[in-house]
């Protein structure tokens, strides 16, 4: 690098932490790295993996970031998100089952993040309020608020901005005829914290994606009486137990009675809106703002990472796509970003970059279902990993295809299956308790050997 650069990273979850991790790797190799400041509005690292009991608005008056709940177990095999340079066996000193609960995954993440001295780069309890790109000086002005001191900081200048603040935090809240007079509880999955409180209740789950699927299972597992899942376009289509029933979207609510399109009705205690999340970056000035729905390749991003629409190739986004791959994909994006910023990696010209992302977006539009999706994201991942000289093969398409089949066979037992690590070759042990019977989500119980 010609001169000392300054990089701002927004968010200290898996995506942002991968950026810090790869900068630190270069540093330990004796390379010159930029000055890094990472802002996170939470009081500790982890992003969504940091559980908090808070809902709605947090202790600092800010929107709660987390959408995490007690009892969340990985909904994909851990072998599909394992870091090649830090395996689960490295962390736990033994092989562990394929579908761990949140605390076990979070502990693993923290293990990798703790390999380097990354914490000093992070300003916790600092929310980014406002980012503008300065055309004349080709840099960013960032205003952050110190939430602990209740004080806006003066603007700081940065050469690069990396947005890694996630897109599963700001709930999408549709309305429905009669919902304003519904006498029961209405909530978004974002505010779901534990399933115990729905024991013996009848629940309407609105939606048909991962949140709907998992909250139907969660509430069933902890004793809900009946769960109606209602879909707009197509049902999830799993072989549900008798307590879970899929219905086409309801037409109205009268009192506590939900009227479904097929003419049937149900009286429900609770409505859980599993209606997804918004891409919401109110802190970015308009022209820097990625606007998208949750898709496999949001337009405007070269390698799904570099913003090509403004800001002179100084703005990057990590983890903004819909995800089969998670930690490993964020890691490859992060390494790509780090290589680019440190000058290891050269960009093609603007036209080529735009043509490239448009090619991916065009292909995305032709995808015909989950197996196509998996292959698409695998191809993207391998492409960016190669460009970033990632050095490991991150392809776990086969595991994802098998996982989808397991889910089709039984949504209740797919988490009881076992996979082999691509990096250690070890086949995971079967957990001592099946998912539907495992009510204790603690790390201690999960790691305990069968009694």
Applying CB under 8 A, the residues found at the interface with its own copies are 51-59, 61, 63-64, 70, 129-130, 145, 150-152, 170-171, 173-175, 179-180, 182-188, 190-191, 193-194, 196-197, 269, 278, 280, 282, 285-286, 291
**How far is it, in rounded angstroms, from Cα 74 to Cα 82?**
12
Q: Spell out the residues 6+ positions from residue 406 whose beta carbon is closer than 8 angstroms to its own.
A: 413, 414, 417
Q: How far is the CB of 168 from its own copies (least distance, A)?
A: 13
Tell me 450's DSSP state. Answer: P
| Residue 184 vs 429, nearer CB to its own copies | 184
| Residue 147 vs 329, nearer CB to its own copies | 147
Q: What angle do CA 221, 77, 23 make, to 5 degrees?
A: 125
Q: How far is the CB of 382 from its own copies (least distance, A)?
A: 34
Q: How far is the CB of 282 from its own copies (least distance, A)?
A: 7
**How far is it, in rounded angstroms, from Cα 197 to Cα 7?**
44
What DSSP assignment string belongs to 396-448? Answer: -HHHHHHHHHHHHH-TTTGGG---B-TTT-PBPPPPSS-TTT-----HHHHHS
| Residue 95 vs 186, nearer CB to its own copies | 186
C-beta of residue 143 within 8 angstroms of C-beta of residue 155 = yes
In the block, tokens 């599909």 appear at 80
| Residue 201 vs 410, nearer CB to its own copies | 201
Q: Spell out the residues 6+ positions from residue 100 whose beta carbon is closer than 8 angstroms to its own.
A: 73, 74, 78, 108, 446
Q: How far is the CB of 305 from its own copies (least distance, A)?
A: 23
| Residue 104 vs 284, nearer CB to its own copies | 284
| Residue 4 vs 57, nearer CB to its own copies | 57
Q: How far is the CB of 354 from its own copies (least distance, A)?
A: 23
**How far is it, in rounded angstroms, from Cα 250 to Cα 322?**
27
In the block, tokens 């394929």 appear at 98
Residue 322's H or E segment, with its range, is: none
Q: How far is the CB of 284 from its own copies (least distance, A)?
A: 9
Q: How far is the CB of 427 from its own copies (least distance, A)?
A: 34
| Residue 145 vs 407, nearer CB to its own copies | 145
| Residue 29 vs 444, nearer CB to its own copies | 444
In three-state secondary structure terms, 123 is strand
| Residue 123 vs 185, nearer CB to its own copies | 185
| Residue 59 vs 148, nearer CB to its own copies | 59
**How far is it, in rounded angstroms, from Cα 78 to Cα 59?**
33
Per-residue CA distances from 282 to 134, 151, 315 (Å): 18, 19, 16
Residue 317's H or E segment, with its range, is: strand 315-317
Q: How far is the CB of 203 from its own copies (least distance, A)?
A: 13
| Residue 194 vs 248, nearer CB to its own copies | 194
Q: How many residues does the chain have?
A: 451
Per-residue CA distances from 36 to 153, 283, 362, 446 (Å): 17, 19, 35, 37
Tokens matching residue 143 = 């205003």
Count of Cβ atoms closer than 10 Å to residue 236 Cβ: 19
- Count Cβ neighbours within 10 Å for each residue of 118-156 and write b for 16 or more, e otherwise: beebbbbbbbbeebbbeeeeebbbbbbbebeeeeeeeee
Q: How far is the CB of 210 from its own copies (least distance, A)?
A: 19
Q: How far is the CB of 54 from its own copies (least distance, A)?
A: 6
Q: How far is the CB of 119 from its own copies (least distance, A)?
A: 22
């Amino acid at each position: 690098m010609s001169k000392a650069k300054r990089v701002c990273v927004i968010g200290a979850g898996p995506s942002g932490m991968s950026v810090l991790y790869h900068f630190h790797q270069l540093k330990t190799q004796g390379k010159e790295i930029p000055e890094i400041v990472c802002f996170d509005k939470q009081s500790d690292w982890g992003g969504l993996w940091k559980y908090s009991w808070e809902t709605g608005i947090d202790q600092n008056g800010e929107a709660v970031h987390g959408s995490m709940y007690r009892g969340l177990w990985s909904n994909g095999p851990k072998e599909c998100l394992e870091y090649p340079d830090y395996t689960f066996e490295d962390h736990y000193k033994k092989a562990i089952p394929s579908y761990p609960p949140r605390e076990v995954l979070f502990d693993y993440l923290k293990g990798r993040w703790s390999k380097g001295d990354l914490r000093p780069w992070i300003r916790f309890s600092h929310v980014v309020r406002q980012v503008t790109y300065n055309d004349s000086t080709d840099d960013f002005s960032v205003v952050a608020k110190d939430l602990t001191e209740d004080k806006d900081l003066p603007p700081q200048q940065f050469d690069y901005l990396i947005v890694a603040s996630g897109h599963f935090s700001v709930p999408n809240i549709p309305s429905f005829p009669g919902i304003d007079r519904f006498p029961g509880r209405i909530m978004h999955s974002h505010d779901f914290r534990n399933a115990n409180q729905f024991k013996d209740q009848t629940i309407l789950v609105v939606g048909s994606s991962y949140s709907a699927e998992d909250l139907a299972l969660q509430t069933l597992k902890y004793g809900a009486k009946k769960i109606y899942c209602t879909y707009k376009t197509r049902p999830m289509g799993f072989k549900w137990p008798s307590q879970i029933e899929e219905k086409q979207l309801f037409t109205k609510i009268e009192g506590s009675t939900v009227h479904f399109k097929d003419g049937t009705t149900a009286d429900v205690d609770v409505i859980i809106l599993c209606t997804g999340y918004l891409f919401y970056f109110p802190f970015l000035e308009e022209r820097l703002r990625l606007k998208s729905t949750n898709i496999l390749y949001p337009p405007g991003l070269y390698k799904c990472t570099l913003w090509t629409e403004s800001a002179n190739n100084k703005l990057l986004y990590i983890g903004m796509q819909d995800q089969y791959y998670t930690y490993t994909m964020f890691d490859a994006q992060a390494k790509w970003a780090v290589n680019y910023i440190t000058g290891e990696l050269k960009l093609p010209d603007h036209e080529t970059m735009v043509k490239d992302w448009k090619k991916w977006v065009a292909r995305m539009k032709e995808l015909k279902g989950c197996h196509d999706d998996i292959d698409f994201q695998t191809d993207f991942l391998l492409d960016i990993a190669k460009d970033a000289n990632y050095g490991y093969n991150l392809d776990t398409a086969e595991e994802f295809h098998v996982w989808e089949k397991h889910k089709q066979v039984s949504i209740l037992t797919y988490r009881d299956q076992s996979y082999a690590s691509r990096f250690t070759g070890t086949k995971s042990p079967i957990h001592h308790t099946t998912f539907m019977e495992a009510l204790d989500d603690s790390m201690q119980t999960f790691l305990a050997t069968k009694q």
